[in-house]
């Protein structure tokens, strides 16, 4: 078993914060030891000290991405926090549809800012496709971004075990997923009508510029601020505000709030805000 000394733990905390904005407290020492222990075992590096030295001397090495992948938590599910999708379907989309008709803007752009393995992106896409069944002539674009390359690769493939999609109704399940055959019979893949309206990209929410070629109508930035300190949260929310169209919506996680954070958003209801 690899031993992680307190000094080394502090060094990794500083490095992780500098590269991702993730703030780890002293209670995360075992998490760091366990997850990074798998990396150094795979690489054949004898100690955490030598692993840290390697990363410090080689900041552009692909292993830096692997280290951050190991630290990040990719917990998600289809239609997680279902009240957001109800609000999106019943309140946000009808309102935006009226505004789009007046402005003759035929494109709906949605950003899932911390999309993990893609379940949130495909849940958003399903919600929009269902809504627009009776409203033709509109284009849907859903962008999913995440820090983790490993998670994004899963999202891009769009293939999930059956246990991962149990929260989807049978009607939607049949409509938007294909069952695998032979050795893939326990897996389901999203259908082309979903995959053609989504795209994925690696984005560091803290340190990357949000240099998207367009602004968004809806941003889902859920369950990621819990890993950041106050200053980092404020910067992230300001950046989200800057690329959201006026009158449009921001969704955050059920355990998150903008209370105590300097921001320009208008409160709508818990975890939902409007520019």
Would you name the residues annotated as active-site residues? 35, 146
Main-chain dihedrals φ then ψ at residue 73, nearest 5 degrees: -100, 125
Q: Is the torsion defined by CA of 107, 112, 113, 115 positive or negative? A: negative
Structure tokens at 249: 């919506």
Q: Which residue is it, tokens 């997850």?
A: 35
Biggest CA pair distance of the chain: 64
Q: How far apart are CA 151 and CA 210, in angstroms?
A: 20
DSSP codes joined into one string, the chain: -----HHHHHHHHHHHHHHH-----GGGHHHHHHHHHHHHHHHT-S-HHHHHHHHHH-TTSHHHHHHHHHHS-----TT-SHHHHHHIIIIIHHHHHHHHHHHT--EEEEEETT-TTTHHHHHHHHHHHHHGGGS-S-EEEEEEEES-HHHHHHHHHTEEEGGGGTTS-HHHHHHHEEE--GGGTTEEEE-HHHHTTEEEEE--TTTS----SS-EEEEEE-S-GGGS-HHHHHHHHHHHHHTEEEEEEEEE-TT---TTS---PEEEETTEEE-
194 neighbors 172 (Cβ within 8 angstroms): no
């Amino acid at each position: 078993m690899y031993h992680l000394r307190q000094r080394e733990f502090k060094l990794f905390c500083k490095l992780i914060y500098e590269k991702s904005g993730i703030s780890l407290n002293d209670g995360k020492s075992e998490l760091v030891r366990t997850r990074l222990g798998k990396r150094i075992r795979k690489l054949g590096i004898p100690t955490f000290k030598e692993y840290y030295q390697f990363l410090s001397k080689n900041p552009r090495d692909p292993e830096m991405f692997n280290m951050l992948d190991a630290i990040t938590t990719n917990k998600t599910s289809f239609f997680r926090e279902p009240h957001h999708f109800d609000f999106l379907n019943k309140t946000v989309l009808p309102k935006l549809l009226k505004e789009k008709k007046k402005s003759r803007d035929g494109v709906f752009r949605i950003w899932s800012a911390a999309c993990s393995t893609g379940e949130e992106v495909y849940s958003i896409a399903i919600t929009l496709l269902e809504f627009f069944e009776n409203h033709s002539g509109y284009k849907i674009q859903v962008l999913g971004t995440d820090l983790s390359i490993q998670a994004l690769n899963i999202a891009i493939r769009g293939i999930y075990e059956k246990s991962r999609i149990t929260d989807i109704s049978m009607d939607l399940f049949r409509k938007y997923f294909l069952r695998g055959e032979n050795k893939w019979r326990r897996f389901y893949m999203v259908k082309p009508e979903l995959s053609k309206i989504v795209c994925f990209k690696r984005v560091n929410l803290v340190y990357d510029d949000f240099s998207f070629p367009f602004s968004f109508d809806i941003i889902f930035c859920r369950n990621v601020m819990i890993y950041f300190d106050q200053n980092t949260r404020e910067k992230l929310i300001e950046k989200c505000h800057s690329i959201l169209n006026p009158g449009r919506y921001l969704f955050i996680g059920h355990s998150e709030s903008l209370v105590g954070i300097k921001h320009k958003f208008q409160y709508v209801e818990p975890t939902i805000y409007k520019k």
